[in-house]
């Protein structure tokens, strides 16, 4: 393991601690949009569409069919039965609030081309199902009322559009798109028309979350970024349309270090070259967000019982925050429009932990002590937050690498003061009187 600052206290450590505290105090971004984004830390991702009826993943069954799986004709027929009469957007927002999630991103259109909004430019949409209502509009109205920031996932691939691919062929043969066909410019026009709908009909849009898959340059991302900036200058844009834009998006994984500007942080690639293993300078930090599932699939799947535990989810949130990122945790609603109980239980457990310990997550940035053997750190202002995963069997916990004078240590849950001593750059915390939290125990360390 690479030596960390916590293992080797030095003048460099003091300088980096000071830089991190400056970053947490508000110097990390000149752009207030990104400051807001970084402060929110935890969001809800929603993958929902007619595919929930079949307990299959969104779009991929027709892109890469499995032997004996659903056929493309069967998949295309699912909207004829889509009627989520129990959908209550306010209930979804209440659940996100209870989970401590501070923004929501919903799939407005996935790769299959089906629109969960009432687009004027296609009939392959939710308002042509038995349900007949504009789901995006309903959620947008509820989010506006609750002052919950709302963003839209929008897929540049569209397997239903004849400009994107020759639709007389199976989707599995040309799902990557055919930009050399003369129809391609017409498809880009179609994309722009729909992006304009999303940005002009549903109020303030927190983020447009593109998912361009491979060869993203074919979408002319500069054109779409210009359109977005013209219509809603405050809308954030992710890195999946051929340019970095505002933030990068590793998927179903954590980067091994802290992303820095100019480094390649792929969507799903394990390539972490260029990441910083120690806290970078504030101006070098690259805003980022990881998206993950609670089970193994994005869409609702009644057969997927691989539930991550509440402890797994809390510790992932801590790991993300300790590297300065955001955690976009996905739910796949049922065909009826509800969130399954197993998801609700875990989300509420995370929310209960955040109720006591949220000061160590919201509004923080990466901590100065990376890769501690027993936990992680985040920082805000003159306060470091120590998130302890592995509680010591002894009655003390040693934290090396803090040469700055410590004024006080507080247990966040209950706001109780904790006894400590400090000598030669090592903070020794008295732990005997503390009952540890099974997910993570958080101590606030205030520096002079």
In this structure, is residue 124 part of a structural domain? Answer: yes
pTM over 0.85: yes
Using alpha carbons, select from 331, 295, 339, 333 the residue that is nearest to residue 51. Answer: 333
What pLDDT band is residue 96 in, cutting at 50, 70 and 90? Answer: very high
State the pLDDT at residue 33: 95
State the pLDDT at residue 371: 86
Find the domain containing 209 and state its range.
Answer: 31-364
DSSP 66: P
For 257-273, the pLDDT digits (tens) are: 999 998 655 544 434 55
Residues in a beta bridge with 428: 398, 421
Please name the residue ranges forming H helices in 325-391: 341-357
153 lies in the same domain as 200? yes
Q: What does the alpha-carbon distance between residue 46 and residue 49 come to, in Å, rounded to a whole number?
A: 10
Using alpha carbons, select from 175, 53, 168 the residue that is nearest to residue 112. Answer: 175
In this structure, is residue 335 part of a structural domain? Answer: yes
Find the mean pLDDT for residues 386-392.
97
Contact 315, 439 (CB under 8 A): yes
282: which residues sit within 8 A by CB, 6+ positions away? 19, 22, 23, 27, 28
In this structure, is residue 359 part of a structural domain? Answer: yes
Q: How many CB atoms lie within 10 A of CB 45?
A: 24
Q: What does the alpha-carbon distance between residue 71 and residue 383 come to, in Å, rounded to a whole number?
A: 56
Q: Give the residue from 313, 341, 364 where a domain finishes.
A: 364
Using alpha carbons, select from 98, 87, 88 the residue that is nearest to residue 42. Answer: 98
Residue 13 has pLDDT above 50, yes or no: no
In this structure, is residue 26 part of a structural domain? Answer: no
Q: Give the residue from 336, 364, 392 where a domain finishes.
A: 364
What pLDDT band is residue 30 in, cutting at 50, 70 and 90? Answer: low
Number of domains in the chain: 2
For 192-204, the pLDDT digits (tens) are: 999 999 999 999 9
State the pLDDT at residue 397: 97
DSSP 344: H
Kind of pairing between the strands at 416-418 and 406-411: antiparallel
363: which residues sit within 8 A by CB, 6+ positions away? 24, 39, 41, 380
Across the chain, mean pLDDT equals 92
Instruction: Provide the CA 327 distance to its chain's centre, in angstroms.
Output: 4
Residue 160 has pLDDT above 60, yes or no: yes
291 lies in the same domain as 380? no
Kind of pairing between the strands at 365-366 and 326-331: unpaired
Q: Give the residue from 300, 329, 364 where a domain finishes.
A: 364
Find the mean pLDDT for residues 308-334.
98
Weakest-pLDDT range from 6-10, 32-36, 138-142, 307-311: 6-10
Residue 221 has pLDDT above 80, yes or no: yes
318 lies in the same domain as 396? no
State the pLDDT at residue 204: 98
Percent of the chain with pLDDT over 70: 91
Phi and psi for 268 in degrees, rounded to 5? Answer: -130, -5
CA dihedral 109→110→111→114, nearest 10 degrees, is -60
71 lies in the same domain as 104? yes
393: which residues sit within 8 A by CB, 6+ positions away? none
Exposed/middle/buried for residue 101 (C-beta within 10 Å: 0-12, 13-18, 19+): buried
In this structure, is residue 289 part of a structural domain? Answer: yes
137 lies in the same domain as 176? yes
Weakest-pLDDT range from 21-25, 376-380, 442-446: 21-25
Find the mean pLDDT for residues 273-281.
83
257 lies in the same domain as 296? yes
328 lies in the same domain as 382? no
For 228-262, the pLDDT digits (tens) are: 999 999 999 999 999 999 999 999 999 999 999 98
Find the mean pLDDT for residues 338-363.
98
For 279-320, the pLDDT digits (tens) are: 999 999 999 999 999 999 999 999 999 999 999 999 999 999
In this structure, is residue 12 part of a structural domain? Answer: no
Contact 346, 307 (CB under 8 A): yes
Weakest-pLDDT range from 27-31, 220-224, 297-301, 349-353: 27-31
In degrees, to the nearest 5, what angle opens at C-alpha 111 toward C-alphas 170 and 209? 165
354 lies in the same domain as 407? no
User: Which segments of 6-78 are extended strands (E)?
Assistant: 42-46
81 lies in the same domain as 113? yes
Percent of the chain with pLDDT over 90: 88
State the pLDDT at residue 403: 83
What pLDDT band is residue 23 in, cutting at 50, 70 and 90? Answer: very low
Residue 16 has pLDDT above 70, yes or no: no
Structure-token pair, residue 229:
């900036």
In this structure, is residue 243 part of a structural domain? Answer: yes
Give the H/E segment covering residue 330.
strand 326-331
Phi and psi for 109 in degrees, rounded to 5? Answer: -155, 130
43: which residues sit within 8 A by CB, 6+ positions away? 101, 102, 103, 104, 105, 289, 326, 327, 328, 329
For 419-439, the pLDDT digits (tens) are: 999 999 999 999 999 999 999
Please name the residue ranges forming H helices in 274-340: 310-322
CATH at residue 426: 2.60.40.1180
221 lies in the same domain as 299? yes
345 lies in the same domain as 381? no
State the pLDDT at residue 177: 98
183 lies in the same domain as 239? yes
CATH at residue 57: 3.20.20.80
> b/e string for 352-364 if b means 16 or more Cβ within 10 A?
bbbebbbbbbbbb
In this structure, is residue 205 part of a structural domain? Answer: yes
């Amino acid at each position: 393991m690479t030596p960390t600052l916590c293992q080797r206290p030095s003048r460099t450590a003091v300088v980096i601690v000071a830089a991190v505290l400056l970053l947490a105090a508000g110097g990390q971004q000149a752009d207030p949009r990104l400051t807001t984004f970084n402060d929110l830390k935890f969001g809800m991702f929603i993958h929902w569409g007619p595919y929930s009826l079949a307990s299959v993943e969104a779009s991929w069954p027709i892109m890469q069919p499995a032997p004996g799986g659903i056929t493309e004709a069967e998949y295309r027929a699912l909207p004829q039965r889509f009627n989520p009469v129990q959908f209550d957007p306010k209930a979804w927002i209440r659940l996100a609030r209870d989970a401590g999630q501070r923004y929501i991103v919903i799939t407005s259109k996935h790769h299959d081309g089906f629109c969960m909004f009432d687009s004027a430019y296609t009939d392959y949409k939710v308002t042509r199902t038995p349900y007949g209502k504009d789901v995006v509009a309903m959620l947008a109205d509820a989010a506006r009322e609750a002052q919950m920031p709302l963003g839209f996932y929008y897929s540049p691939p569209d397997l239903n559009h004849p400009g994107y691919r020759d639709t007389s062929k199976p989707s599995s043969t040309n799902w990557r798109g055919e930009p050399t066909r003369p129809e391609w410019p017409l498809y880009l026009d179609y994309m722009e028309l729909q992006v304009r709908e999303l940005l002009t009909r549903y109020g303030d849009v927190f983020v447009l979350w593109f998912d361009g898959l491979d060869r993203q340059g074919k979408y002319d991302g500069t054109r779409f970024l210009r359109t977005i900036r013209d219509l809603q200058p405050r809308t954030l844009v992710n890195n999946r349309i051929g340019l970095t834009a505002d933030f990068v998006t590793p998927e179903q994984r954590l980067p091994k270090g802290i992303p820095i500007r100019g480094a390649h942080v792929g969507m799903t690639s394990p390539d972490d070259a260029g990441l910083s293993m120690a806290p970078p300078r504030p101006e070098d930090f690259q805003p980022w967000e990881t998206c993950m599932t609670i089970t193994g699939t994005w869409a609702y799947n009644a057969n997927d019982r691989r539930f991550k535990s509440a402890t797994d989810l809390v510790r992932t949130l801590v790991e993300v925050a300790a590297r300065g990122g955001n955690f976009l945790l996905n739910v796949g609603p049922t065909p009826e429009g509800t969130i399954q109980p197993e998801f609700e239980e875990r989300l509420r457990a995370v929310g209960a932990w955040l109720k006591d310990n949220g000061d160590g997550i919201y509004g923080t940035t990466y901590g100065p002590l990376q890769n501690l053997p027993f936990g992680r750190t985040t920082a805000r202002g003159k306060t470091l937050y120590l998130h302890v995963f592995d509680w010591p069997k002894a009655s003390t916990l040693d934290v090396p690498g803090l040469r700055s004078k410590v004024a006080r240590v507080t247990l966040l849950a209950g706001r109780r003061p904790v006894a400590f001593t400090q000598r030669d750059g090592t903070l020794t915390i008295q732990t005997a009187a503390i009952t540890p939290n099974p997910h993570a125990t958080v101590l606030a360390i205030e520096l002079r």
